[in-house]
Structure 1
Amino acid sequence: MTTIKSIYINLPVKDLAVTKSFWTKLGFSFNEQFSDDKALCLILNDGVMYSMLITHEFFSTFTNRSIADGSTTEVLLAIEVESKEKVDEIVQAALANGGSRYRESADHTWMYYDSFADPDGHQWEVMYMDPAKIPG
């Protein structure tokens, strides 16, 4: 069985300053060792999960395909947090700081989630799951 040590999700962004401000206001931080004037290393779970937020110009050097412009969906990014309250806190911070809503929240008793698009149009789902409440 293959086990992944860590994951780096690479996403194109238009403006690093706007991107850094947005994620900082949501309570996230960056690994400065892997951040520069071409990319930011957003820490999602230190040592395990990161998102490389890369300028369009630099991102284009990694692919021969066109870069999504924020008006199409290429991927949905789902992150799990520790509580329903944390879901609401992150989504409200996102909406107050340049994010937009693309879908309403949903509560399935055992799973609660809400969603936002970041300033570059990347779609994020923030969820909380309580395995004890999963219908069996």
Structure 2
Amino acid sequence: METRFIWANLVSGDLAKTAAFYSALGFKRNDHGDNQELVSFVFGQNNFIINFFTGQRLSQQMNGGLSIPKNANEIIFSLSANSKEEVEQWVEKVRSANGTLFSEPQNFEQGYTFGFADPDNHKFNVLYWPGM
């Protein structure tokens, strides 16, 4: 058995804020913009999709509680960059979109990285790694 696709489904506390944030970062919408329970974006060359649902809508599909992380990490998505300069460009984009930096830009082994959170505290790191 082979999996054809993988995507993520996360909770959003405010779909309008989520849509504005990821649009400001330049990600392409994967929905028609008229759904009141979902906003969806495409990430990267492999077209990885992250769907952001209202808590009420996503909880209908789950057997268990949902949460928006405030002081814990659920998962950290990694976004690759082509250079240190591109990492710094991401920092400015995230700041201008009112994202939260939880890790300032820094050297990491042979790479360069920083971490940010979206309005619901879903975490990402942007990483330049030579040869990747």
Give the TM-score taking structure 1 as reference length: 0.82
Q: Partner residue of 2:88? A: 88
Alignment of 1:1-136 (within 5 A): 4-33=3-32, 36-45=35-44, 48-71=47-70, 72-108=72-108, 110-131=110-131
- Residue by residue over 1:6-48, the C-alpha shift from the partner in whole angstroms, topping out at 9 and shown as x without a partner, is 3211111011111111111111111225972211121103653
Give the TM-score taking structure 2 as reference length: 0.84
Unaligned runs of 5+ in 1: none
Aligned-residue CA RMSD in angstroms? 2.3
Aligned length: 131
Residues 13-22 or 108-117, more deviating: 108-117
Unaligned runs of 5+ in 2: none
Residues 19-28 or 89-98, more deviating: 89-98
Higher share in helix = 1
Contact 1:77 1:123 in 2 (8 A): yes
Task: Tell me how far apart the structure 2 counterparts of residues 115 and 12 of structure 1 sit (CA, whole Å).
Answer: 20
| Identical counterparts, % of pairs | 24
Higher share in strand = 2
Q: Which amino acid aligns with 2:13?
A: K
